[in-house]
Chains A and B, each alone.
Chain A
Amino acid sequence: MRRTSACLMISIVAALIGQAAALAGPEEDRLAFVAFFESRFPDIPLAEYGNGIYAIDSDAREQWIEIEEFPPYEFSIERGRTLWAQIFPSGKTYADCFAQRTGKIRAEYPRFDESRGEVVTLAMAINDCRAGNQQQLLPYDEGEIIDISAFLAFESRGEKLEIRVPDDQPGALAAYDSGKRFYYTKRGQLNFACSDCHVTSAGQYVRADRLSASLGHPTHFPVYRSKLGGMISLHQRFAGCVRDVRAKPFDLQSNEYRNLEYFLSYMSNGLAVNGPGARK
């Protein structure tokens, strides 16, 4: 009887601890997230996590350093620079749509827009700017929007991610929590959560490749992917992961992916923007 009661008590306490962790605030989450990876990879300096798998895999890192000597994303930056400078018929430019200086923009996105009640990503803000200047919206999965994002990431290199979940905006916390839930939820035929690969199994091999840590993931997008021969956005990478676990991917810039980006970017707060990047 005593043993049953003790088991019951332990179960209740464990459940309460689990609930408390699930309900912890963004900053508690971030500190725990960072501490986890520091404990898992004690020899890797925190700033290195922005380099993704190349922080962990020394062999792949050597190849990557060589690729970076002639960065395959350079053309995208230059196209983005040209597009950024274009003057709309209204006489305004993209820069007029942003409150921050150009070299700071990337580090402050995604952000929660209280008036709209949703997370606004940088790609969305670029399209909002176009809509405000009576320009056709750009598709999210190719071309100009990725080039502009690459240029802005390049201009923001070295700026530390500074994502805010304001206490006085309950919608922001709800969006953050939604992204957090998405991140830890198993989905698809393979029954995998994002965290299964990029937390629990970070550093382990999946066939010939090692799994990167989630910490620092958003700092280096968009990236040039050698296997695709082109640039991709963070949301395209999300869609790729969801597809890989054999779940149906969501639309790019859907609520699901924007909230996920919000959560993941908050986890990487304090790490420097180092996009665009090059990956296998």
Chain B
Amino acid sequence: MDQAHASESGMTTATVSPVSVTCVRFAVLAVLVMIISPGCSTAEDTSASDASRCTKDFAAELAAAEQLRVAAANAGAEWIATAGLLHSAKQDAEAGSMETACALLEQAVFEARSALAQARREADAWRNRVVR
């Protein structure tokens, strides 16, 4: 319905400038992004900080990653490559290839955390797949 038709039908319309509409849209979008983005953050997102930390005390980081892997295994949810990644990370660190070692450790931590998150999700989610 355009303004002329609105006037004819007795309706009143406020004049809103296109700039204001754009500003409002942008503000709404910004608010939505602020609300949604923390929800999209998962355990996997912390892996970058793990990589940077691992160079400070690699042995401790490796031990922590191994604990995560064991936790995933105890939950019956370990992924196939995690143990191999940790093993390779240790070997690379022993050979002095810290950059590669940290990258592998980062990947292992990502996998172990993802497996644990999967186990937590599946604690109830499996019920929805039961044939009925």
Contact = CB atoms under 8 A, between A and B. Distances in A.
Given A181-B126, A243-B80, A248-B78, A187 B131 contact: no
Given A33-B131, A199-B131, A248-B73, A188 B126 contact: no
Nearest to A35: B131
B58 interface: no
A248 B118 contact: no
B131 A36 contact: yes
Contact of B130 (A180, A182, A250, A256): A180
A248 B126 contact: no
A270 to B, nearest CB: 16
B23 to A, nearest CB: 31
A18 B76 contact: no
Does more than half of chain A's interface fall in helix, strand or loop, or is it mixed? helix
A181 B124 CA distance: 10
Contacts of B129: 184, 193, 195-196, 199-200
Interface residues of A, number: 32
Given A189-B111, A191-B118, A248-B73, A184 B80 contact: no
B128 interface: yes
B126 A193 contact: yes
Nearest to A33: B131
B122 A247 contact: no
A231 to B, nearest CB: 24
A24 B79 CA distance: 30
Interface residues of B, number: 22
A58 interface: no
Contact of A186 (B80, B83, B126, B130): B126
Contacts of A33: 131
A29 B83 contact: no
A246 B80 contact: yes
Interface in A144-197: 180-182, 184-189, 191, 193, 195-196
A187 B77 contact: yes
Interface in B109-132: 111, 114, 118, 121-122, 125-132
Most buried by A among B82, B127, B131, B132: B131
A7 interface: no
B131 A188 contact: no
Given A184-B127, A188-B79, 9 more contacts: A18-B130, A22-B126, A184-B126, A184-B129, A185-B126, A186-B125, A189-B114, A248-B78, A250-B76
Interface of B: 73, 76-83, 111, 114, 118, 121-122, 125-132
Closest 5 CB pairs of A and B: A22-B127, A21-B132, A184-B126, A248-B78, A184-B129
